[in-house]
Amino acid sequence: MVARMIPTQQPASDDRGEPARWADGNKDGIGTAIAETSRVWFSTSGGILTEAFYPAPDQACIRLLELVVTDGKDFLSEEVLDTQHAAGVPHAVAPLCSLLNSCKLGRYQLEKEIIADPLSDVILQRVRFTALQDGAYRLFCVLEPHLGNRGDDNTALVGAHKGVPMLFAFRDDGLALALACSAPILAATAGFVGADGRVGLRAT
- Please give the model's pTM, rounded to 2 decimal places: 0.81
Whether 187 shows a pLDDT value over 70: the answer reads yes
Q: Would the pLDDT of 180 be above 90?
A: yes
β-pair partners for 77:
69
For the cut 50, the answer to whether the pLDDT of residue 184 exceeds it is yes
- 191 pLDDT tier (thresholds 50, 70, 90): confident
pLDDT for 204: 53
Q: Are 117 and 39 in contact (CB under 8 A)?
A: no
Mean pLDDT of 141-150: 90
Using CA atoms, how far apart are residues 73 and 204, in angstroms rounded to an integer?
7
The pLDDT value given to residue 2: 29
The pLDDT assigned to 201 comes to: 63
Within 8 A by CB and 6+ apart from 160, the residues are: 5, 166
| 171 contacts 155 by C-beta, under 8 angstroms | yes
